[in-house]
Structure 1
Amino acid sequence: MFVFTAATVLSLTTAVNLTANREDCPYLYNRLPPDGPCITAYGMHKAPWADSRFFCKSIFGELLVIKNVTVFTNLVQYLNKTGIQGDFWIGGYKNQGDWIWVDNTPMAMGTPFWSLKPQNTNRGCTLFQAPYLASDIDDNCASIAHSTYYYISNEKCTEERSPLCVYKGAKELDFVDTDED
């Protein structure tokens, strides 16, 4: 679970103050240029994928979905221009063998989105186009990282990374399962 410590509250307060004058996006969010969605690359704290998703929902967002090359290119340019560096969770995951986004649409595989990943084989270390699809690999959540030039890679969902959120608005989000009897 994402823990709201005194340091977290302080960094959230700082983020709110830095984004307080933005009329086109709510607090904590900035517009992805040129006319993209409102996003926040919250790099101050790290959490597993599920907790990062919960954090995004707690600020009326969702983990970022990257469906086209334009959004992907604009995101990488934005992160580089603003000097934001780190490892971020995005809204992709493997479900019953298929890679999907949190909105249940399929993820595009391969170039230009996915990074190369080293895998040990009987011939030594070989680079494969991520996601590496071997059934014994437990890397089921999508991430982007500065070290891989923000190409998508599949990582263990329990690793701690920062959430990369997109604003969705309070009306579109479900925080609890409303299973009524």
Structure 2
Amino acid sequence: MKCFLSLLLLPVVVWGYCDPEFTRVGEQCLSFVTQYQLTFEEAGEYCNEMRGASLVTIDSATQFKALVDYIYSSELAIASYWVDGNDKDSEGVWISSSGKKFPMGTPFWAAYRTSQEPNGIRKENCAHLFIPVNFYINDFACNRTNLFICEQADVPTRIIQYEPPEVKSCPMHYVEVGGKCLSFMAYEEVSWESARLRCRENEGDLAIVDDIELLRAINLYLQAEELTDHDFWLGASDAQTEGQWLWTDGSSVPMGTPFWGLVAQYNQEPDGGVDENHLALLSKGYFYFRDADGSLPLHPLCQLAE
């Protein structure tokens, strides 16, 4: 028993205090430099002079969401910001200054109905949070200037122990994705209301995707299973009150970046008004949230009832 418990009690890092020049944002200590607009290289050098800091890294969907939420809540939505990502050495291979892989796809990079960033080929090799696209990541010419965000290096930490959650065991027709038991019914296409009925027949309901890591996990699963040419219904609607998006359990749907996709002229979903009252993940939208006509035939994405 002692040996078994030792396997469960795994170490986890807990972040310490930030230096005075930095502010806690999620699990990072950050400084938003708004007094200078510098090139990508100059911004990195400026950060390095701040006790060895660097441009802010983005390693997870949770981290990215915390960063964007902070920009909006702290009145920092004034211009675009450099972040630590580039493909200068090898076109299309995006890395950070430390050589780590830079996250790609949804829910990080700006996506429209027919295209997703990065799209600058050899002319745009550095990553920034682009204000016209609601601070989704966009590729940009490295010699242009932006505001930028520095991340404190060597944040003091301490180690505690915790017992990790159990891995879900999902029943037939369901698969574990992002800690949930989901069923991707790729064999039939039905309206939103009919999709709910199909899910209920299988002891579930249309999926509630209220965590950004779950949206990321769904995207990775669709890629791995070669389902990226399918469209799926989710369990949310604003049919009762236009503009008030609610999940089937009555909770509010998260709005804005990094959940909802973009449309032409840099506008953000939802944009369908009274004609599009149901929530979908569409292939021609890179599986960001998009409003759609509930009568359309899409695949049910079910979640096992808990």
Same fold per superposition (TM over 0.5) = yes
Gaps of 5+ in 1: 1-22, 119-125, 170-181
Mapped to 2, the partners of 1:165 and 1:133 lie a distance apart of: 24
Structure 2 SS opposite 1:116: coil
2:169 counterpart of 1:29:
no
Structure 2 SS opposite 1:129: coil
Mapped to 1, the partners of 2:213 and 2:221 lie a distance apart of: 12
Partner of residue 268, structure 2: 129
In structure 2, give the amino acid aligned to 1:67. D
2:250 paired residue among 90, 104, 114:
104
Mapped to 1, the partners of 2:281 and 2:257 lie a distance apart of: 14
User: Any conservation in 1 of the 2:272–2:291 contact (CA below 8 Å)?
Assistant: no
In structure 2, give the amino acid aligned to 1:24. S
2:236 counterpart of 1:92:
yes
TM-score (norm 1): 0.71
In structure 2, give the amino acid aligned to 1:69. I
Mapped to 2, the partners of 1:37 and 1:52 lie a distance apart of: 18
In structure 1, give the amino acid aligned to 2:171. P
Q: In the TM superposition, what is the alpha-carbon distance from 1:105 to its structure 2 partner?
A: 0.3
In structure 1, give the amino acid aligned to 2:174. Y
Mapped to 1, the partners of 2:257 and 2:193 lie a distance apart of: 26
Tell me the C-alpha RMSD between the 2 structures: 1.6
Structure 1 SS opposite 2:196: helix
Q: In the TM superposition, what is the alpha-carbon distance from 1:60 to its structure 2 partner?
A: 0.5
2:304 paired residue among 159, 164, 167:
167
Partner of residue 24, structure 2: none
2:285 counterpart of 1:148:
yes
Mapped to 2, the partners of 1:28 and 1:51 lie a distance apart of: 18
In structure 2, give the amino acid aligned to 1:29. Y
In structure 1, give the amino acid aligned to 2:289. I
Structure 1 SS opposite 2:267: strand
Q: In the TM superposition, what is the alpha-carbon distance from 1:133 to its structure 2 partner?
A: 6.4
The aligned runs of 1:48-63 (5 Å cut-off) are 48-63=191-206
Mapped to 1, the partners of 2:302 and 2:272 lie a distance apart of: 26
1:115 paired residue among 261, 269, 273:
261
Q: In the TM superposition, what is the alpha-carbon distance from 1:117 to its structure 2 partner?
A: 2.8
Q: In the TM superposition, what is the alpha-carbon distance from 1:160 to its structure 2 partner?
A: 0.7
Q: In the TM superposition, what is the alpha-carbon distance from 1:81 to its structure 2 partner?
A: 1.3
Q: In the TM superposition, what is the alpha-carbon distance from 1:128 to its structure 2 partner?
A: 2.0
Partner of residue 102, structure 2: none
In structure 1, give the amino acid aligned to 2:290. S
In structure 2, give the amino acid aligned to 1:165. C
Which is higher, the Rg of structure 1 or of structure 2?
2
Structure 1 SS opposite 2:245: strand
Mapped to 2, the partners of 1:53 and 1:116 lie a distance apart of: 26
Mapped to 1, the partners of 2:217 and 2:188 lie a distance apart of: 24
Gaps of 5+ in 2: 1-167
Q: In the TM superposition, what is the alpha-carbon distance from 1:53 to its structure 2 partner?
A: 0.5
List structure 1 runs of 4+ shifted beyond 4 angstroms.
none
Q: In the TM superposition, what is the alpha-carbon distance from 1:168 to its structure 2 partner?
A: 0.8
Q: Deviations over 1:15-45 (max 9, x none)?
A: xxxxxxxx91111001114xx1110111111
2:173 counterpart of 1:39:
no
Q: In the TM superposition, what is the alpha-carbon distance from 1:158 to its structure 2 partner?
A: 0.6
Mapped to 1, the partners of 2:185 and 2:236 lie a distance apart of: 17
In structure 1, give the amino acid aligned to 2:288. Y
In structure 2, give the amino acid aligned to 1:155. A
